[in-house]
Amino acid sequence: MRAVRAADYNFRVARGWESKQVEDQQAEAGRHSPKTGRALSPSEAALLREKENLRLSKKRVLQQMEASTNARHRQMLSLELEALDQKLRSLDQ
């Protein structure tokens, strides 16, 4: 396998392609961020992060439940899912 030199790389990749990709990634991230119209206080930002972390954990647990074939493991995951739902409900109040 031949080592790729910087000159070869720049020849094969169009200029600006990397910056366009970064720009697209930033635009995508901006579409998914909450639009509140004002800056969040540190406590509000922490609450949003905690809620998002709980939602991601819930998604992970649901994926594991779908893949699990062991009844005890599924039962443990079910209890974890209930706990996550309870935490989310308490944060929403």
DSSP-assigned letter for residue 5: P
| pTM attached to this predicted model | 0.58
What one-letter code names the amino acid at 1? M
Burial of 49 (0-12, 13-18, 19+ CB in 10 A): exposed
Q: Region 42-58: what's the mean pLDDT?
A: 93
CB atoms within 10 A of CB 84: 20
What one-letter code names the amino acid at 69? T
What is the structure's pLDDT at 33? 61
For residue 39, pLDDT beyond 90: no
Higher pLDDT among residues 15 and 82, named by residue:
82
